[in-house]
Amino acid sequence: MPELPEVEVLKYYFEEAALGKTIRAVGFHDKLNKIFKTDKQSLQNALTGTCFEQCTRIGKYLFAQTEKGPWLHFHFGMTGSLELFMNEAGMPRFTRFSLLFEDGSNLAFTDSRKFGVVKLVESPEAYRRQQGFGKDLLTITEEEFITPLQKRNIAIKTALLDQKHFAGIGNWIADEMLFETGVHPEKKASALDQEELKALFEKAVNICKEAIAKDTHYGDFPCHFFVHYRKEGALHPAHPKSPVERLVVGGRGTFIVPEKQKL
């Protein structure tokens, strides 16, 4: 689920669910403790008795600042999400971490595959730089998008997914952008011309904005969106004679319309 638009919507959800509510208790529900990149005791100490003042997002990474100072960071991996629940019995399946608020409500961090991260950080921007991630896709200029891609000698799709250039693009958005611009995902990034790169940037921003406007409910996306046909053999209405093909690019499942995206 969680690419840039999904995390933006999770940010709104977090703000509604958590901002300004005092935290009474913290719950840990991952037996392997893999997702807690800050130890549980420190998380508990930093969160209990305080509340969240603000929330911010960089790419797919979410951060909420506590009144005490440190920020709680969530990364949602492949399957992470947030969900409110009202009592112990109602705790969602796959809850790994939970916050109990003063009003009796609870917020769950759910993550079936456990690729997610829960961690304390000093500041979102410092963390971003330390981890080597690029700036948020929706805050960069066209030049900041284009320049790093021109230097990459790898498949354009792989470069788009690399969070160190700019953060936020994931697997379905990359396929969506490449389809709309008619670029084959295996074309070398360095081989794209200026027009193609400009078009990719414009599409990336528009796709994200549209998805956010629809609360990332795929069913509400415009019917020309490629994500609706992103499976082998599907027929996009604009290309009824060119069934969707599946490739593997950079280890990720990749879908194209062969008639439109050629090497």
Residues making contact with DNA (CB under 7 A): 1-3, 6, 31-32, 34, 59-61, 75, 77-78, 94, 112-115, 131, 152-155, 158, 161, 163, 170-172, 218, 246, 250-253
* Cα 113 from Cα 106, distance rounded (Å): 21
The full DSSP string for 119-172 is: EEES-HHHHHHHHT--EEGGGS-HHHHHHHHHT--SBHHHHHH-TTTEE---HH
Our CB check for DNA shows the closer of 114 and 236 to be 114
Our CB check for DNA shows the closer of 101 and 230 to be 230
Our CB check for DNA shows the closer of 32 and 89 to be 32
Beta bridge partners of 117: 75
Our CB check for DNA shows the closer of 172 and 201 to be 172
Our CB check for DNA shows the closer of 230 and 260 to be 230
Q: Nearest approach, Cβ of 11 to DNA (angstroms)? A: 15
- Residue 15: C-alpha distances to residues 20, 35, 36, 38 (Å): 9, 22, 22, 22
Residue of 104, 72, 78, 85 lying closest to 7 (CA atoms): 78
Q: Nearest approach, Cβ of 182 to DNA (angstroms)? A: 21
Q: Nearest approach, Cβ of 44 to DNA (angstroms)? A: 22
State the residue for tokens 């000698």: 153
Q: Nearest approach, Cβ of 152 to DNA (angstroms)? A: 5
Q: Nearest approach, Cβ of 43 to DNA (angstroms)? A: 18
